[in-house]
Structure 1
């Protein structure tokens, strides 16, 4: 007796156009036992994989991605497939855990967004994403103002109102100094951004990371993704080398090239676990932290 087939869902990594994508079938993807494969939908090609419904249904997926180690494993696998695809053809990355009931539902979703996906593919063709992060050293905290002396006859006239005003003046001076330093730091970061933008075809400012990511020893003042034509890497690196020499108070970090995660508008907006459009995808980027 033939055992019944295990129900599966269609997991989508990315959408491509053109290119010889057969090499992707050698990738393990999410390591479910099924090969990564391609799915044609008109002029578009989705990079997909069959995954067991029992392990990737909404409730199971919620449990899976609430586990930090499992989330990292899935994100890295997702990113690996997208990186491989983008090396072969223009590629729109899809969010982590973009799932459909079956191939037909995936094709339907691609067809509904064909125009926006083709526009995105035109925008990113022949280009790559680079990330530039700028940090200012946090430095030691400013010294606390001296305590205001108590007024009263026992302290003598020198500790009266004039001394209180002097204390407040010191507080204001320190505050102005902090504000001026912050303003100068932001202006320096803007000079970095302006120089890199002159090389890019597009740029997107991202939310700066907080102290839980950067650590207490530095503050992130700029976090930008840039879309550059392929072949401009040396110009970018030379520009940043010059900026590091000029902006000595800043730490400037470059990462990339990446698949164009920040410039792939037009991706699939909803998951397809049900024909009613239940959102199964998580809006978590598959790109691993640099």
Structure 2
């Protein structure tokens, strides 16, 4: 599944009562889109991409079947990972193609309107928040940084040391627990320092909820999950600083990725 922060939020226009027919799936809204930016890029189900214009704003859309993307079917599908993964992947692919060419405000997954007139109405409704969001991310991209403490760094008993008695076993368990607490506390403090360092090198930052190891695929305890909005001209120094931090802290997994479309920073205030 494409790793994308689940915190992507923006106003949604969901079709509520149409069991059949078609709707328009909105991927993102941008400004100043290059005419050839979407050449060779398809929408969901291989549908051609189209644009809807309102003043400076351009919404990128494609046609979807409401039997699949209407409100009731969506409630079922959003709990089905086999259905969800390719939809998330395609949504992200289209957003990335747009963001290469123009400042882009990605929309929440499955933002659906009945038709192009309804898309235009949404653009008019969201005009000021969208313009503000696009101003905020123009010439900037998102970087993700996750810091994980590996299980070996979290404190453990020595498997080679023999246990002499029940009391000895309990004492060693207590020492191991204390070691884990001390290690986690130190890791949290180090993560805070890393976040402050990277935040100074970005124009905005956002801390996100830590991901469970079963979802992130990273064994250990995640002590930092953050997004940073970085000017395009500062991307290389920012990536270099992440590499320096990783090299200087071998006891941690420091996973930095980017540049990405600004999912965490192009949100609309309205819901």
TM-score band w.r.t. shorter chain: 0.7 to 0.9
**Corresponding residue of 1:11:** 25
CA separation in 2, counterparts of 1:63 and 1:172? 47
**Corresponding residue of 1:273:** none
Higher alpha-carbon deviation: 128-137 or 22-31: 22-31
CA separation in 2, counterparts of 1:28 and 1:118? 26
**Corresponding residue of 1:44:** 57
Residues 62-77 of structure 1 mapped to structure 2, 5 A cutoff: 62-77=75-90
Compute the TM-score of the two structures, normalised by the length of structure 2. Answer: 0.81
Higher alpha-carbon deviation: 127-136 or 210-219: 210-219
* CA pair 243-8 structure 1, distance change in 2 beyond 3 A: same
**Corresponding residue of 1:120:** 133
1:228 to 230, 236, 239: 230
CA separation in 2, counterparts of 1:53 and 1:211? 35
* CA pair 216-235 structure 1, distance change in 2 beyond 3 A: closer
2:188 to 182, 186, 202: 186
- Offset at 1:172? 5.5
CA separation in 1, counterparts of 2:35 and 2:73? 30
- Offset at 1:174? 4.4
CA separation in 1, counterparts of 2:236 and 2:86? 33
* CA pair 25-10 structure 1, distance change in 2 beyond 3 A: farther
2:166 is equivalent to residue 147 of structure 1: yes
CA separation in 2, counterparts of 1:242 and 1:265? 31
- Offset at 1:66? 3.3
Larger Rg: 1
- Offset at 1:267? 7.0
User: 2:239 aligns to what SS in structure 1?
Assistant: helix
Which segments of 5 or more consecutive residues in structure 2 lack a partner in the other structure? 1-19
Residues 27-176 of structure 1 mapped to structure 2, 5 A cutoff: 27-32=41-46, 34-139=47-152, 142-143=156-157, 147-148=166-167, 173-176=175-178
CA separation in 2, counterparts of 1:210 and 1:143? 24
User: 1:87 aligns to what SS in structure 2?
Assistant: helix
- Offset at 1:143? 3.5
Compute the TM-score of the two structures, normalised by the length of structure 1. Answer: 0.76
Answer yes or no: is the 8 Å Cα contact 2:28–2:59 preserved in 1.
Answer: yes
User: 2:33 aligns to what SS in structure 1?
Assistant: coil
Deviations 1:158-177 (A, max 9, x none): xxxxxxxxx98766654433
Q: Number of residue pairs matched?
A: 246
CA separation in 1, counterparts of 2:245 and 2:92? 31
Q: How large is the Cα RMSD of the aligned pairs?
A: 2.6
* CA pair 115-61 structure 1, distance change in 2 beyond 3 A: same
Answer yes or no: is the 8 Å Cα contact 1:21–1:88 preserved in 2.
Answer: no
* CA pair 58-214 structure 1, distance change in 2 beyond 3 A: closer
1:251 to 247, 250, 253: 253
